[in-house]
Amino acid sequence: MALCCAISNEVPEHPVVSPVSGHVFEKRLIEKYISENGTDPLNGEKLQVELLVDIKMTPLVKPRPPSATSIPAILKALQDEWDAVMLHTFTLRQQLQTARQELSHALYQHDAACRVIARLTKEVTAAREALATLKPQAGITAAPGAYAAPAPQPAYAAEAGPESAQQPIEEAGMSEEVIQKLQDKATLLTAERKKRGKTVPEGLATSEDIRNFRQLASHTGVHSASVPGILCLDVCLRDTSRIVTGGNDKTAVVFNKDTEQVMAILKGHTKKVTSVIYHPDEELVITASPDASIRVWGVANAQCGQMIRAHEAPVTGISLHATGDYLLSCSTDMHWAFSDIRTGRVLTKVCDKSGSSVPALTCAQFHPDGLIFATGTEDSVIKIWDLKERANVANFQGHQGPVSSISFSENGYYLATSAEDSVVKLWDLRKLKNFKTLQLGDNFEVKALCFDQSGTYLAVAGTDVRVYLCKQWNELAVFNDHTATATGVRFGTNANFIASASMDRSLKFFGQQ
């Protein structure tokens, strides 16, 4: 039996009982009546809201009003609902059109603002380069013995375009002092290497450790997403938590693996950065680009402290000498150059004219001792050079396609090379012959090779990232985590982690979880 309100004669939504009269009322109606009269509406006795008693009951569905029980009334209700829907749809269309116009205007303003910002950024970069070239960088020269103040450069050195690349710095020549410095360093390094070769470095990752490596971290926001792709990387040997990468976005980025923070963004090249080196002893980064320039940067202030104009065409490879003062570079202009990074002077520049044709150079790498080095050519030949004599002393043939990467083992005996033939060849520098060829599979593309600091492991980056155990040349691990070609790979201290970069814009780290 349904209860009815004594005032409205309808089923109440919130029923209450008056203790004075005993009748049931709708709560909101009786409260309003009491607030106006202060009495019970039926017997006129005094009544307060606090005295009302709530009734709990099962909610009831109200019966339809009489107007909704006939067919004409239902049709009228449906027509009204249809009209309301149509009017609402028309209003939404008007609002959509207005929103589209506002969005179009906002996108136009955003595009215009981006163009202005890009132009201003370009002007600021050009001004900073000119200032960096004409004035010594205080931040770089502050540390004693860290980086000599660059001498004033000619006016054209401030320019970064192709026109200035056509006017390389004049060769200064290799003095007896420089040659003696190279010889002393080589003697010292040879003695140290013989001592290290007798024992395994303490804390070196074992083969089983390498097999258990898994992806530890992946960073995709290091370089710009507008021009995706990381083309190269290097690890600071003094502090392997510091990584430098070069990308398609014309910048080099210094990244700290431990803090996962970008330490410096090095902007100045007018084309992509294809080679990077992190100085092993100082906070310096060296970059090379197809814009025919080589730049030496101070990490602390992210400024270019020296620009080396050694070539007239794209620079394809750079390698730092063990002294930390000299740089080897090669280019498609068929020359290799030996330069002083402290002054920016080119000490010597050589072109191999022994054959009928002079191929372009594709990569270059110093031997650990620093008295010899290797260059790769576009016609598949690896050339070994004597630095002091500036003479080609040996040639290795056997690859097909331009040589893509060269890496010397720290033991000084092995040289690993790759080209566009899906293999890695190992050469014995004592016997001057190929003693091992690693078959990587059909259409495997090799972009980078790297031995660890102990010479125990070899990493290969390309279609995927692979690690091999030297001497036995067994495959220890394969990492397929990159979604595009891997372009660079380096080992951490004692091979406790591996860093790799890729065209998928990611910088990944592999190690034991």
In contact, 104 and 112? CB cutoff 8 Å:
no
- Take residue 122 and report the two structure tokens written for it: 């370009």
In angstroms, the CA 436 to CA 384 distance is 18
Burial degree of 469 (CB within 10 A; 0-12, 13-18, 19+): middle
Please indicate whether the domains covering 15-63 and 155-185+203-463+478-511 agree at the CATH topology level: no
Domain-by-domain residue ranges, the chain? 15-63, 68-134, 155-185+203-463+478-511
CATH 3.40.640.10 fits 15-63, yes or no: no
pLDDT of amino acid 112: 93
- Take residue 384 and report the two structure tokens written for it: 């070994």
- Take residue 232 and report the two structure tokens written for it: 């190269």
In angstroms, the CA 220 to CA 503 distance is 10
In DSSP terms, which residues pair with 154 in a beta bridge?
Answer: none
pLDDT digits (tens, 9 = 90+) for 125-163: 888 888 877 654 444 443 434 444 344 343 333 333 433
| The CA-based dihedral angle spanning residues 339, 344, 345, 351, taken in that order and rounded to the nearest 10 degrees | 40
Amino acid at 486: A
> Angle 339-343-349 (CA atoms, 0-180°, nearest 5)?
20
| Residues 6+ away with beta carbon under 8 Å from 273 | 231, 232, 246, 247, 250, 251, 252, 287, 288, 289
**Residue closest to 505 by CA, chosen among 233, 200, 179:** 233
φ/ψ of residue 71, rounded to 5? -60, -45
3-state secondary structure of 165: helix
pLDDT of amino acid 143: 40
pTM value?
0.67
Which residues of the chain register pLDDT less than 50?
Answer: 136-168
pLDDT of amino acid 60: 63
In angstroms, the CA 330 to CA 327 distance is 10
In contact, 393 and 382? CB cutoff 8 Å:
no
CB atoms within 10 A of CB 154: 12
Burial degree of 115 (CB within 10 A; 0-12, 13-18, 19+): exposed
Count of residues making up the chain: 513
Amino acid at 42: L
Fold of 155-185+203-463+478-511: Methylamine Dehydrogenase; Chain H (2.130.10)
pLDDT digits (tens, 9 = 90+) for 413-440: 899 999 989 999 999 998 889 999 999 9
In angstroms, the CA 260 to CA 187 distance is 39
Pairing of strands 53-54, 15-17: antiparallel
pLDDT of amino acid 201: 80
